[in-house]
Chain A
Amino acid sequence: MSTVISSDTAAEAAEGGGSRGGRTRRGAKGAGRQMHGGKLTYAVLILFTMGSLFPLVWTAIAASRTNTRLAETPPPFWFGGNLFKNLDTAWHDANMGAALLNTTVVAGTIALGTVLFSTIAGFAFAKLRFRFKNLLLMLTIGTMMVPPQLSVVPLYMTIAELEWTDRLQAVILPTLVSAFGVFFMRQYLSQALPTELIEAARMDGASSVRIIWHIVFPTARPAMAVLGMLTFVQAWNDFFWPIIALTQNGNPTVQVALTGLGRGYIPDESVIMAGALLGTLPLLIALLLFGKQIVGGIMQGAVKG
């Protein structure tokens, strides 16, 4: 967006058009998508926003009440005074404290690994020449279709054999790389990284490792950040495999602990909601801080993918 604007202004300056040129340009954009939203647009958008946020706000409300209050009509619409007590119970009795720590480690490692491996593989696919490149790329894209259900039985047999049940590596290793990540970085680097730059570096005798370190990583940094955030969110919320590999009382991730709560581990709805709140809060804070980048990343991935 900003580049478009700046290049337009530059063109204007070259023409010497000044403010008048700007006006005609804006006038021509009246049709279609660039129109201002009307009142109805805002009304509908606000409705959708409320629909998106309401269940989360209500989670907090329910978490601040007592179990008995939640079993009354009408349901509560405002916060009560029980939030910290419920959070405390969820933290200690439902293992949420350990779960949050575990999930941070798991999601962090997976995000780091995915970004690193995706960037170097994406660079190879985007800019280097080697045999079987297209075949391997097709294979990579093909793997995006394979559902996790297809591998759980052998994976379970493997970790049972290795006695990795309730060990964090059991959920980290299988998702440490991602086909989407490789594809995402490839698309980004084929556009953002000029081939001449690599050739020039080669002329200077730079090795491939050196090119990666000094040229690819700095160029790819914005895309790496976006991929890291998207992967972190995904890993944080990963569900199917963790509930098979980990247990509530052993070494749970947040999702495993929440599943335990949902299955009646603690039969107190307000504590369950406190657990849900604890498990969601870190990502909501991340969204608050990096929302713009995450939105940009999803939209970027969409156009290219």
Chain B
Amino acid sequence: MTRPFGSTAGAAAPPADQGGTAQRPVAKTPDPAGPRRRAWRSRRYRWDIKYSPYAFVAPFFVFFAAFGLFPLLYTGWASLHRVELTDPTHMEWVGMHNYSRLWDDEFFWNALRNTFTIGLMSTVPQLLMALGLAHLLNYRLRGSTFFRVAILTPYATSVAAATLVFVLLFGRDYGMVNWALGLVGIDHIDWQNGSWTSQIAVSSIVVWRWTGYNALIYLAAMQAVPDDLYESAALDGASRWQQFLHVTIPSLRPTILFTVVVSTIGATQLFGEPLLFNGAAGATGGADHQYQTLGLYLYEQGWVNLHLGRASAIAWTMFLILLLIAAVNAVIARRLRKSQ
């Protein structure tokens, strides 16, 4: 497919190392075709060195510009207009109206609050459990590959499939969860319509899907902790638990920070779980919007209420929140580095 241009040194592809080096003298002998061809070849060589790196990164940046950067900026532009889904090419300038309307919209604040509480309820248990799980997986185990693959199966399950199953498990009348709770004497809980209970149920889907994945990330970081740290801690008489607290956790600090950031970004964008948790209710996030997240609110404004301009304003607000999180994170990271 990509046959190289050169033909003299080329017939035998330089496979890895010595093969190519041995042929070099042959390639360097004066070319019978004369100096013009040599000059051409050296010019081509210079061009190759100089420009081909750009050609190699170009596909990524072209696609990124077309489908990442341009839409990002255009969303900002659209957020200053009235745009309706029914006629997306017709844009009417409204300035900051979409944003001020958002500010006055109780559903926006509701969605922001829900995103925050669901984010907290899904991220904190998820990462704590992942940390413990990784610690256990770090022992010398029989069947360690089996355990690692098994805890990764939820990651391979899509949001849609997982949510559909959890909806059934959390069913009010016939769900497995309520049945099990009934065994210990707890009355049926209305997981879909309660405000806290529905948020707990939605969070549990996130926790189920991502705990194993994060555990593997922590495990990788734990395996990179040098042995002698544990050895010297053991010599000082530290118990297993103390070793975990005083050796493992501090060594994992950058990784923990990384997973917190990634999970927070994920939580900010939470969408599929609340959308399908009560599929019949559509994009409202429950009868009382009790688990409507920002992502869902954006979708509702744009593709149910057909206000693309308002949806753009929500998108940019989410972006600003993410930037805020990134800034806070950078400050914390610097603090940590200084304290070390």
Residues in chain A within 8 A of chain B (CB atoms)? 28-38, 41-42, 44-45, 48-49, 51-53, 55-56, 58-59, 62, 70-75, 117-118, 120-121, 123-125, 128-130, 133, 136, 140, 143, 145-157, 160-161, 173-177, 179, 182, 197, 200-201, 203-210, 212-215, 233, 236-237, 239-240, 244, 254-255, 258-259, 261-264, 269, 272-273, 275-277, 279-280, 283-284, 286-288, 291-292, 294-295, 298-300, 302-303, 305
> CA–CA, A217 to B32, complex, Å?
34
Q: Which residues of A contact B258 (CB under 8 A)?
A: 305
Residues in B232-268 with C-beta less than 8 Å from chain A = 233-235, 240, 243, 247-248, 255, 258, 265, 268
A205 and B16 contact, CB distance less than 8 A: no
Q: How far is the CB of B87 from chain A (nearest CB, A)?
A: 10
> CA–CA, A173 to B15, complex, Å?
35
Given A150-B316, A239-B159, A240-B272 in contact, is the A49-B20 Cβ separation under 8 Å?
no
Q: Which residues of B contact A70 (CB under 8 A)?
A: 168, 174
Given A56-B157, A280-B158, A298-B213 in contact, is the A136-B227 Cβ separation under 8 Å?
no
Q: Which of A34, A117, A153 has the most CB of B within 10 A?
A: A153
B160 and A259 contact, CB distance less than 8 A: yes
Residue of B156, B248, B268 near A286 (CB, 8 A) is: B156
Quick check: which of B101-109, B118-126, B189-197, B318-326 contacts chain A, the rest being far away?
B318-326
Q: How far is the CB of B246 from chain A (nearest CB, A)?
A: 11
Q: How far is the CB of B167 from chain A (nearest CB, A)?
A: 7
B220 and A128 contact, CB distance less than 8 A: no
> CA–CA, A74 to B175, complex, Å?
9
A/B interface sample: 15 pairs, CB < 8 A? A52-B151, A52-B212, A55-B157, A59-B161, A146-B72, A147-B322, A148-B269, A149-B295, A207-B52, A213-B4, A239-B158, A258-B161, A275-B164, A299-B220, A302-B255
Quick check: which of B273-281, B284-292, B331-339 contacts chain A, the rest being far away?
B273-281
Residue of A129, A130, A147, A174 near B269 (CB, 8 A) is: A147
Q: How far is the CB of B68 from chain A (nearest CB, A)?
A: 6
Given A151-B67, A240-B271, A303-B220 in contact, is the A124-B57 Cβ separation under 8 Å?
yes
B276 and A259 contact, CB distance less than 8 A: yes
A200 and B59 contact, CB distance less than 8 A: no
Q: Which secondary structure dominates where chain B touches chain A?
A: helix
A140 and B158 contact, CB distance less than 8 A: no
Contact size class for B? 35 or more
Residues in B137-180 with C-beta less than 8 Å from chain A = 137-141, 145-169, 173-176, 179
B151 and A49 contact, CB distance less than 8 A: yes
> CA–CA, A7 to B63, complex, Å?
43
A55 and B208 contact, CB distance less than 8 A: yes
Q: Which secondary structure dominates where chain A touches chain B?
A: helix
Q: Which residues of B contact A295 (CB under 8 A)?
A: 145, 148-149, 152, 216
> CA–CA, A93 to B49, complex, Å?
57
Q: Which of A58, A117, A264, A279 has the most CB of B within 10 A?
A: A117
Known: A49-B151, A51-B208, A124-B53. 9 other contacts (CB 8 A): A32-B247, A58-B169, A121-B59, A129-B53, A153-B75, A153-B302, A156-B302, A295-B145, A302-B217
> Is B74's beta carbon under 8 Å from chain A?
yes
Residue of B64, B173, B217, B280 near A298 (CB, 8 A) is: B217
Given A161-B89, A177-B64 in contact, is the A37-B139 Cβ separation under 8 Å?
yes
> CA–CA, A275 to B280, complex, Å?
17
Task: Across the interface, name the chain B residue whose C-beta is closest to A280.
Answer: B161
Task: Across the interface, name the chain A residue whose C-beta is closest to B213.
Answer: A298
> CA–CA, A149 to B156, complex, Å?
22
Q: How far is the CB of A266 from chain B (nearest CB, A)?
A: 12
> CA–CA, A55 to B315, complex, Å?
33
Residue of B155, B265, B279 near A263 (CB, 8 A) is: B279
Q: How far is the CB of A238 from chain B (nearest CB, A)?
A: 9
> Is B9's beta carbon under 8 Å from chain A?
yes
